Amino acid sequence: MQIAIDGPAGAGKSTIAKLVAKKLGITYLDTGAMYRAVTLAVMRQGADFSDSAAMIRIAGECDIALSDDHVFLNGEDVTDAIRTPEVSKHTSDVAPIAEIRDILVEEQRRIAEGTSVIMDGRDIGSVVLPGADYKFYLDADAAVRAERRYKELSEKGTDQTLEEIHRDIIKRDYNDMHRESSPLVKADDAVVIDSTPLGIDEVAQTIISHIQA
């Protein structure tokens, strides 16, 4: 069984996908974490975010592994390091590059092969797993998404204000939806869920009910 969950930043995709994976006993793959890991590798190598050739080379050399909620880059646990505002910002420089997407999409399809998986991202239903058994597009108002992210970041300690996070989210939505290579789109056959008024458990239950129906 393959389940695709797409949607904009902060819609709750990863929290919900993790929950659904646990309830159904299947593998969860956070594809955003892979783009973030490449971004971190570019930062660490001191490459310029306008140098596509260098970024493509670095992406080709990255060994990214996802296991039990942890993300490893070349063997190092980078689970927290890939969630900084700087990485979030620069992932928008890395994710539009078609050659980098090809590398990561190939790896995502390899992981999905022969196993039941729920994958979240921007292009899962449209590009990575177009034949997925179930496709969901999870959305929520930008202001609500900003508030959720602010709360999440505040718990970890951040100096970003709610207004800054809101601005970032609007900018990331624009970048994700308007890039040339695999923009964020709702697949024609995806079920749209607006999580604005819903809690995490309600969204997870909506998804599970669709699958069991």
**Residues engaged in binding ligand DC (CB under 6 A):** 9, 31-32, 35-36, 91-92, 95, 121-123, 172, 176
Query: Rounded to 10 degrees, what is the CA torsion of 36, 83, 168, 138?
Result: 80
How far is residue 137's CA from residue 119's CA, in Å, rounded to a whole number? Answer: 12
Cβ closest to ligand DC, residue 78 vs residue 121: 121
Unique residue bearing structure tokens 């299947």: 26
Nearer to ligand DC, 2 or 31 (CB): 31
How far apart, in whole angstroms, are the C-alpha atoms of residue 6 and residue 122?
Answer: 5
Terminal alpha carbon distance of the chain: 15
Min dist. Cβ of residue 14 to ligand DC (A) = 7
Taking the complex as a whole, how short is the minimal distance between the CB of residue 95 and ligand DC, in angstroms? 4
> Least CB distance from residue 31 to ligand DC, whole Å?
4
Cβ distance to ligand DC smaller for residue 6 or 204: 6
The distance of closest approach from Cβ of residue 182 to ligand DC in the complex, given in angstroms and rounded to an integer, is 7
Nearer to ligand DC, 9 or 19 (CB): 9
Q: Which is nearer to ligand DC, 95 or 212 (CB)?
A: 95
Is the sign of the CA dihedral 82, 32, 2, 11 positive or negative? positive
Minimum CB distance to ligand DC, residue 183 (Å): 9
Task: Identify the helix (H) or strand (E) that includes residue 41.
Answer: helix 31-44
Min dist. Cβ of residue 213 to ligand DC (A): 26
Rounded to 10 degrees, the C-alpha dihedral 152/156/161/163 comes to -20
Query: Please, are residues 1 and 26 in contact by the beta-carbon 8 Å criterion?
Result: yes
**129 phi, psi to nearest 5 deg:** -130, 65
In the bound state with ligand DC, the residue whose beta carbon lies nearer, of 25 and 113, is: 113
